[in-house]
Structure 1
Amino acid sequence: MRTVLACLSILAALALPAAAAEPAPLSYAGKTVLVTGSTDGLGRELALALAADGAHVIVHGRNAERGQAVVDEITAGGKGSARFVAADFSSLQAVRDFAEAIARDTPRLDLLVNNAGVAFNDGTRHASADGHELQFAVNYLAGWVLVNRLRPNLAAAAPSRIINVASLSAEPIDFDDVMLEAPDAARRGYGQSKLAQVSMTVELAPAFAADGITMVSLHPATLMNTTMVEGLGIPPRTTVEAGRDHVMGLVRAPTLVAGAFYVEGTPGEPLDPQPSDAAARQRLVTLSEQLTGVARD
C-alpha cells in the first residue's frame, strides 16, 4: 500500500506545472552608467554600488577634489571603473556643455540616474546663473536637458534605463509664477521641481520606450541623513543606505513600468494629480523647451 501511495505521489508531483523561475536581477558589469550629483549623499552611494557590480561609472559633481575621491575609491575596490566629469548645474550652459561632452565621449549609455539636486527651506527665492528659480533649474531643467540630449546614446545601448530621483514632496506648477517671484512663493520651490520631474517622466516615457529606454521616477526614502537634509536643519527619518537600496532595486529590477512613479520600491501615486493632466504636461514641455533651448527629441 505504501508503495502504491508513493508512486501516486510521484505521479502527482510530475503532473504539477513547473514553478516559473524568478527572473534574475540585471547586472551592470561592463556597462556604462551616469549618476549626477554623485560626489556626496545618495548619488555617491549609488556610484559605489554600481561600480561594485562591475559598471563603468561617470561620476558628476561640482567639486573636482570630491569627485576624484569617489573615482579613487572605486578604483581601489578593484571591480568597476570610473571617471569624473565636472559641471555646475546651476548654469544651463554648463549643463548643455556637460551633456555634449558625455554624448561625444560615451556612444553607448546603459543607465542615467538624474539625482543631482538642491533644497532650501529658508523662505528665500534663490536664483540660478540664468535667473531661474534655482531648485527648478537644478532639480528639473538639468534633467530635461540630459534625457533629451543623451537619448541617442541611451537608445544605442537599449535596453537601457533612466531613473529620475524625485520625491513625495509635491507642489503643482503655477504656470503664472513658475519662477516663484510672488510673495511667499519660495516655499513651493522644492515640491514644484520634484513634481515637474514626475510630470516629465509621465510625458516622455512612451516615446523613449519605443527606443528601448525605460524611464521612471521615484521617491527613494523620506529625509535621508544626507548633507542636503542636514543643511535644512530637519532631523533625518531614514538613512541614505535605505534610499540607495530602493534606487538600486529599480536599477536592477528585471522589468519596470515605463513612466511609473515608484514610492521606494513599489509603484505609487504622487501626492498631487498634476502629472496626470495632459494639458499641464504639454505646457511643461513647451516651457522646458523655451527655457533650456533643448527641444523634446
Structure 2
Amino acid sequence: MTQDYYVEKFGQGDPILFLPAAGFSGNEGFKIAEHLSDRFETHMIDLPGFGKSKGIETKVSSIKLANWVKDYLDEQHIEKANLIGHSLGGAILLNFAVHYPDKVNKLVLLDQGHKPFPRVPKSEFGAFAYFFPLLNMLVNLFGKSFLNKLAPLFTQDGEQKVDNDEIRKQFCKQASIEEDDYVRLAFENRADFSVEALNLLFGYYKLNLPNLLKKVTVPTYLVYGTFEGLNEKEYINTKRQVEKLHKHNLPITFQPLKGGHYVHWNQNFAWDELERFLLKNSEVSFVV
C-alpha cells in the first residue's frame, strides 16, 4: 500500500496491474490473480476516488489517467508491466498504453474499448442517465463546486449499501454469471463513493474509447461479451462495433465470449488462452 494507491498483491513473478470496474475495489480481480499466481504477481489497485485510493481532484483527462498509472509504476520501480483492466479500469489502462507504450508489455482489456460509452448511459444510471449530457456540460462549466452539489444524488443510502443475498443474486442474474466466492468477495469489498469518484466518471464519459483503441501499438488481448441471448440490441451493437475494428490493422487478439459485461466471472472464460498470451515473448523488467 502506498500513500495515494490502495493495493493488494497476490502471486509471485512478473508484475501485472489490475484495475476494476467502477463500484468495485481492486480485488474484483482476485480470480485473475489466483489463476495467474504461479507466474505473475498481480497488483490489484483501487480506482482513484473509488475505495481507498486517493482521487484525482482536478478535471480528468486522458493524459491524467495515464499519468496516474505511470506514477504507480514509478513508485514501485517497475519499468515495464502487463496490464489487465475491466470496464472503467480497462479504460484507464488503455489511456496509459496509448500514452506510454514503451512501459507496457501486454494489455488485456476485459469488455472495454471496442464500444463507445453511451451518451445516455441507461444501464449504468437508469432514468437519471437522460440528464447526463446536461450534467456533463455543467461539470465542464463549474468544475468541483458543481460536483460537490451533485455527488449526493449518486450516493446510495445506508440501506442500499447493505450487501445481502438478494442483491448478489439479482446482480448475477442480470450479468448472466454464477455466484461464487469471487463474486461474494467483490461484493463484500465494494468501493465507497466520493466526489473524486464522480469526477472520474465524468472524465470517463468524455473518452472516445474506440478511437483510443485504434491508437494502441502494444500487443492487446480483448475479451468481450457478445450479449447473445441476453440483450438483442446490445448484441447487434457489439457485433457492429467489433466488425469496424477488424477493418483496421491493429495488434489486437479479439476473444468473443457468450455472455455479458463481467467476462472474467464467466464460467467459460479461456484462462489458458490468457496465460498463453501473457507469456508469449514476455519481457518485463524492473528499474534497479
Calculate the TM-score normalised by the size of structure 1: 0.36
Larger radius of gyration: 1
RCO comparison, higher one (Cα < 8 Å, 6+) = 2
